[in-house]
Structure 1
């Protein structure tokens, strides 16, 4: 009986120890995520200058042989007033939210493994217009205005060494106008709405580059040519273009994301190539929607018998 009790006690202790080890193991795994802090993000401002002034005049009259004369003393003061409005007020918050959405980076307020800093600015607007005047009445006029913005960022480690840098450029529609056959349509966004959208787009693009640098985008499964990736939404969304490279670097195939959850995404090939070479462990990159490579020519994929 004594031996049985001891054995059972040892079994209970062993089970408890195993549970503690597992708990510690999971805790270590949870803490293993890379931590990052968003540092100073310099933001462009729109400034307006106003001129204010004040003055006074005093006249003194005196008589002479020919009549009266007056001497006038004038005091005048002019100054400028500078009124500035930040165009990217919430860019820091947008960056923190986008980085946290990776599910692979932990955003911290103080010291972290890395510090992200940079500068964001509006690069200006551009207008495109197409029109046609004909004698048959098939006239049309199409115009659009876009606002461009860019963000330069650098990533530093704990020692202050710069380990990564990137420049991201985004565009957003300001207004559009269409007139054809007597029908006119137009759409326009307010200034703040435009900048809010720009901030979100820039933050997501920057966070994606930083996350992929620290925890690379990779293929984790390949089934009949369709691949699964180790990132999900919002980094990879329906229609996102992904370019995967085989481990030996000899095969590069472009894919389109067809489904995504919070942790993974599924993509199917868009073009020709030996998809069997894109195996788990293959690296991948995202081609931004406004990147010319996203609109490149594809070779038709044909499955051979």
Structure 2
């Protein structure tokens, strides 16, 4: 454990710890001669205890004033998991049910189902590093990659706020991949896209995304939350004139992902149960060994020092009150 202080010069006050060695605080009474009396081990031990308590009290006070703290540390762990960025669609349609209706007491929205199932997914993967990004009209940075499960759960719960208007998938993917910039390559790198729709990606963005997916060595999973009676990612157009990215963006986004030549898996979920099965399958697939470091934040110990000082002073006061007065 690494300890440090805010104001090192205050540690000069530790010299006062020598004071109890010369004065134990006990009132002395004169007697003619005590050498003929046998030594009193209890009294000797009590004197030593008083001196030690006095020195410890002074040390606790000085360390508290100096601002004693434990510095930030990191601990290396080896576990089975992955580095996962959750990329969540926050367009208006996510606030509707899988039937395309306003949610009621019997049926939850797609966003609510995603929150519930992702919460269970995170809780069951203690060794993952997870980050969260969202996208609608623009990408939304939510939480960087972290092993702090409380922060991750809080970030997932924060998606309860109302959604925005549009779906800009290319910027969302770019932000998700940026989470891995300048990070050591250890374990799987995964982008888990959860959306109920897609949008056409312009050629320049396609070229840039291809390059980033290759550079970052990312595995991509897409859970497509299909609304009832809407086109699916595998559906072929009945009219060849509709076979384009503007008319069938989900189909063409799937084709783009397939053409990236990276590990990619798509799931088409038409209900919360289907979404649960998709997440369970991803959970089963991604359990590779990975090294990761847990960051332990700085911990202030000055309050603990003051508590010890007060406790020791109360003990000294109690012993002082037991002193026989002549």
TM-score range, shorter chain: under 0.3
1 or 2 for the larger relative contact order (CA 8 Å, sep ≥6)? 2
Q: Which has the higher strand share?
A: 1
Q: Which has the higher helix share?
A: 2
Q: TM-score, normalised by structure 2?
A: 0.20
TM-score w.r.t. length of structure 1 = 0.21
